Amino acid sequence: MTDMPKTESPKRGTDTANLFETGLAIRREVLGVEYVDGSLGRADDFMMAFQNITIEMCWGYAWGRPGLQRRTRSIVNLAMLTALGKPAELRLHVKGALTNGVTVEEIKEILLQATVYCGIPAGLEAFKVAHEVLLAEGAIPLPASGAKP
């Protein structure tokens, strides 16, 4: 695998190669080419094993299935990542949710629902992360001068 460019599918069989190609396309569309290609570019041989399973199974298999729209998958992910207390992944998926058509109001409601079931600390962390992303993406206005975000 060391001779293979990192954006080519691994040569482990047609099904796996198809999952990789499908997953890479979906991951780039949802999270952005710059983020995905940056992750691949920074991966050494050890981390490429993780990149491959993420692209093939998460993005190719799960996200590539026809049963749910990407928007719905984003909604589910926001709730799950809040419940799991995974702010780094939540940050990526808030941006991805916007890409997939989830509105700011819906993101707020998803996080409120998750807060009730997951607890105030998990909800607070999720709201802080989402707020940072929404501000950075221009999805919500910057706070008035002197107000704390």
Note the pLDDT of residue 27.
Answer: 98
Domain residue ranges in the chain? 14-62, 70-136
Measured CA to CA in angstroms, residue 72 lies from 25, 31, 110, 119 at distances of: 18, 15, 11, 23
CA dist., res. 7 & res. 132, Å (int): 30
Q: Residue-wise over 107-133: b if at least 16 C-beta within 10 A, else e?
A: beebbeebbeebeeebbebbbebbbeb
Interval 73-130: pLDDT, tens: 999 999 999 999 999 999 999 999 999 999 999 999 999 999 999 999 999 999 999 9
pLDDT of residue 1: 40
Task: Identify the band that residue 145 occupies on the pLDDT scale cut at 50, 70 and 90.
Answer: confident
Q: What's the distance, CA 120 to chain centroid?
A: 23
Q: Which CATH class is domain 70-136?
A: mainly alpha
pLDDT digits (tens, 9 = 90+) for 21-56: 999 999 999 999 999 999 999 999 999 999 999 999
Q: What is the pLDDT of residue 3?
A: 42
pLDDT number for residue 11 = 55
Q: What is the pLDDT of residue 5?
A: 41
At residue 33's C-alpha, the angle toward residues 27 and 35, to 5°, is 85
